[in-house]
Structure 1
Amino acid sequence: MMKAIPYGRQSIEQEDIEAVIKTLQEDFLTQGPKVREFEELFAKYVDSKYAVAVSNATAGLHISVLTLGLKPGDRVITTPITFAASANCVKYGGGEVWFADIDPDTYLLSLESTRKLIESKPKGFFKGIIPVDFAGLPVNLQEFRELADEHRLWIIEDACHAPGGYFIDSQNKKHMCGNGQYADIGIFSFHPVKHIACGEGGMITTNNEEIYKKLLSLRTHGITKENMSENHGGWFYEMQELGFNYRLTDIQSALGITQLAKNNGGVKRRNEIAEKYKNSFQGTIKFQSLPPNTYNAHHLFVIEVDDRKELYDYLREQGIYAQIHYIPVHTLPYYKKIGYQNADLSNSEKYYTHCISLPMYPTLSDEEQEFVIEKILSFIE
C-alpha cells in the first residue's frame, strides 16, 4: 500500500543537519553572525535592500503594521482567503480589519473589489492594504501601488507562500515577491510546510532604511546601543520604545541558509508538479489560473470540486491527506462577532465551499502524484 501522502512537508537533508550541528558547536546559539548572514542572503535572493529575521511571520506582520504607524482605530484592508495572521496583526495594533473579495479565478485579493471598498468611503478612511500571494501566486503589486498612492495607503505584501515567485510589470521588469519595489514591506514564513523550513521563523523585507531601523528596534524590545559614547561602558544600552522579543536564533538561521540555497530547485520542482496536475485536470476540474507574466512559487495546488467534503474523506481513506485553505477569515467566530454581514464577499464564500489543496512539495514522487491524480479522477468520474 502507498505510504501516507500529506499536502505539504519539509525536506531536511544531510547538509541541513550538518549546518545546524556546526552552529551548535559555535559560540552563538542566538544573536550571533548566522542571523545576519541569513538576512543578507535572503535580501539578495528577493532583490530587496534590507531583511530582518524574526521568530515567525506573525511576529513580522505585527511589528510591520506598527512600523508603518498603525494606530488604534485605523482601518486596513486584506483578503478573507488567507491564514488568520494576515488579519490578526491589525487587531494586535488596535486597528480595524476590513475585507475585500477575491478574484474567482486567481483566488487573490481583487483589485476591483478593493478599489470599490476604498471609494465607498471618504478619503483617509483606510490606512493600508495587506494583499496575500495566495498559494504562491504573486499579486500584481504595480496595480495595487497605483491604487494605494491615489489614496495615500501603505502596502504590506504577505509573501509567506511565495519565496521564488515573481511577476513582470508594465515596464517589462521582473519583480521577485517581497522585493520592496511596490510594497513598503514584504513578509515571509519559514514554517515547516513552507518552501524554506526553519522549524519556525520569518523574514521581513524592505527597501526603506527608516523602516528597516524601526523593525530592528521593535524586534528586540526597542533597545539600541547606537548612542553609546566614550563616557559609557560596553554594557550600555537604551530602551527607546516598547518593543518585543521576536528574534530568530542562529540555529534556525543556519538551517534557513541551507534551505534558501535549494529554493530555486524546489520551486522548479513545484512547477513541474503543478503542470502535471493541470494537464491531468484540464477541462475536467477547475484550478487556480495563472495570469500572464507571472511565475507561481506554488506553496499550494488548489482545485475546486462540487462535493469537496466527500472527496476530502475519500482521499483520506486512500492515505492522501489533502487540506483546505482557508476557512474565510470573516466567518471565524472571533471575526463573526465583529460583524461582516453587510460585506460582499461572495466569491470568497463560494470558493471555500469547493476548494481543496492537493499534495504539493518538492519531494513528492512521480509515482505518488500519479496515485493522487488517479484517485481524484476516479472519484470525479
Structure 2
Amino acid sequence: MESVTKSYGSTTVLHNLNLALAPGELVCLLGPSGCGKTTALRCIAGLEEVSGGRVLIGSRDVTDLPVNKRDIGMVFQQYTLFPHLTVAKNVEFGLAMRKVARAERATRIAEMLEIVGLDHLASRFPHELSGGQQQRVALARALVTKPRALLLDEPLSALDAKVRVKLREQIRIIQTELGITTVFVTHDQEEALAISDRVAVMEAGRIAQLGTPEQLYRQPVSAFVADFVGLSNRIEGLYSGRQVRIPGASLPVITVPAAISDGTPVTAFVRPENVRLEAVADDVARDGIRGRVASSGFLGAVRRTIVHYADSTIASQHDGDSEYAPGDEVIIRFREEPVTIAADASMAAGSGIVRAVPADV
C-alpha cells in the first residue's frame, strides 16, 4: 500500500497509509474498532475503491482492478459457505470459476482438505460441521486457487476461546508451509502477537507503530501503543535526562515525545512483570514503597497481584509459586526496564503513585 487514502464524503478513514509486506510474510493489522484496519484490508481486496494512493501485489498495480482480477484469497469473520454444497464442492467453487480442469480440481481439493485436516469430512454439508471446521473450509476455499496473497478479516472472532487458539496455530502452520503472503486483521492483541511476523498497530486511520511482536511489546513508541498492546500501569513521574523519576525508581525512557523536556511531568507506562513485590518481615526494616495486597489471581505459570498504596493501585505479574494473600503488606520495587512516557494529562487520570490499573484488571 503506497500512500493509500480512503474517504467517505468529508470523512477520511485512512490517511496516507504505507505498508509493504515481504513475500511469505504474515502481518497483522491490529487496533480498536473504528481504527481503519478492515477498511485497509478491503482496499487491498478491491472491495473498497481507494481515494488516493496505490495498491500493488508484487510489481503489479492492482488499484483499479476488480476483486476477481487481483489473484487473492479472502476469509471473512462469517464463514460465508454455500449451505447447499458439500465441503468438497465449497472448496471446488473457486477452481470451477477459473475453469480449472476437472482432474486437477479433484487433486487440489484433496490436497487442500488434507492440509486443513478435513479430508474425512469432504461429503458433509456446512450445517453438519462445527464453527472451527466451517472456518477451515473457508480457509481451504481461499487457498485452493493458490492466490498470491491471503487476506483474513477477523476470521476467529466468532469462535470460542479454545477453538480460536487451536485454529490460529493451524492457520500459522499452513501459512508458513505454503509461504503465502498474508494480511490478518484482528482487534485481539494476543492473537496478533502469537502468529505475526510483524504487527501494524493502527490508530485513527494511521499506523502508530509497525514492528515485530517483541518490538511492540518491549519498545512501544507511543502511549497509545503501550496502552493497547499488553497491560501497563500508569505511574506519575518527572522526566529528566532520558530518565523518568517515579516513586521508588528512576527508569530509562524508550522514546522522548517532542513536547517533553527536562522537568516535564509525565505518565510512565510500566508493565506488570516489571513490578516486583517483596514480603515485609516484622523484624526487618525495609526501604521502598509499601503497599497492601488487594487481591491475587492464579493464571497458571504466573500470578497477577493487585496492590493498594494510599488511594492508588498497581498490578504486578510474577511467578505463579509466589503467593500473596489479601491484606499482606509488601514492598513495591521496579525493574530497570525502559518505559514509554506521555505528557498528556488525560493519560494520567487519578491520584497517588499509580494513576490507573490495567484496563482489564
Normalising by structure 1, we get a TM-score of 0.25
Structure having the larger proportion of residues in helix: 1
TM-score normalised by structure 2 residue count: 0.26
Larger RCO: 1 or 2 (CA < 8 Å, sep 6+): 1
Greater per-residue strand proportion: 2
Larger Rg: 2
